[in-house]
Amino acid sequence: MNYSELFSEIYRAFLDAVFPPRCIFCDRVTSLENGICKECRKKAAPIEEPVCLKCGMSKKNCECKSKSRFYDGLCAPYEYDGVVRKGIHIFKFDNRRDNYRFFSVLMAQCVRKRFGSVDFDIVISVPATEKSVKKRGYDQSALLARGVAKELGLLYDGNVIKKIYETKSQHFLSNLLRRGNLTGAFEVVDKCKAEGKTVLLCDDVSTTGETLDECSKMLYLAGAGKIYCSVIALTQMKE
């Protein structure tokens, strides 16, 4: 351990003493294991195996036949529901930025499990506009991507793709409008950084897959070789 690592360990212990750690899902101060309390550990719904490596869903909910995607694979440890949904909401909207440390470890574990044989060149995140980062005070996807990169011993680059303009929340739009809403919203800043690369693209959640796919399309057009996506949780399209 070098000085800067030692310093950050001491600082972390100090923070834990002043602000007792809370469960990343329910936000309670209680006994935790890797950031998660015993109850939430039971309640959090993992994506049920066997899993489709392309859409990331449980094979029984696979949607690959009805939807073509630019990305080569997507993986998430959890379903976007219940305590997981609550935890991601707290992380994004209640200024619990530090929770990225635990979420990114869960994402990295999932990447290792599903895409263990893939040789990634670079880790990037779904970009947000400067305005929205300023408003929230942090870029949650970038924090997650940095954490995932660190955990997997890979390089994170925050200057590959950017969001040019603000879009409406995908959540409230019909299926038809979702795609159009994002068209042209993302731009690859430096093609050299994408060309021929195997990319790991990170975001917090994937509810429709459209945001990841639009970013993947732009990376693909910029010459990226393979594109894999990693999120904390995804919405399963159940029949």
Report, in Å, the least distance between residue 40 CB and Zn ion.
Answer: 3
Query: Which residue's CB is nearer to Zn ion, number 71 or number 220?
Result: 71
Query: Which residue's CB is nearer to Zn ion, number 54 or number 150?
Result: 54
Q: Dump strand ranges (E) for the chain.
A: 32-33, 36-37, 73-75, 78-79, 122-125, 161-163, 186-188, 198-202, 205-206, 226-230, 233-234
Query: Which residue's CB is nearer to Zn ion, number 48 or number 195?
Result: 48
End-to-end C-alpha distance for the chain, whole angstroms: 51
Query: Which residue's CB is nearer to Zn ion, number 64 or number 221?
Result: 64
Report, in Å, the least distance between residue 146 CB and Zn ion.
Answer: 24
Helix (H, G, I), strand (E, B) or coil at 143: helix
DSSP string, 63-122: -TTT---SSSEEE-SEESSHHHHHHHHHHHHSS-GGGHHHHHHHHHHHHHHHSTT----E
Report, in Å, the least distance between residue 206 CB and Zn ion.
Answer: 13
Is 54 in contact with 69 (CB distance < 8 Å)? yes
Residues of this chain that bind Zn ion (CB under 5 A): 23, 25-26, 37, 40, 52, 54-55, 62, 64
Report, in Å, the least distance between residue 168 CB and Zn ion.
Answer: 27
Report, in Å, the least distance between residue 160 CB and Zn ion.
Answer: 26
Query: Which residue's CB is nearer to Zn ion, number 22 or number 163?
Result: 22
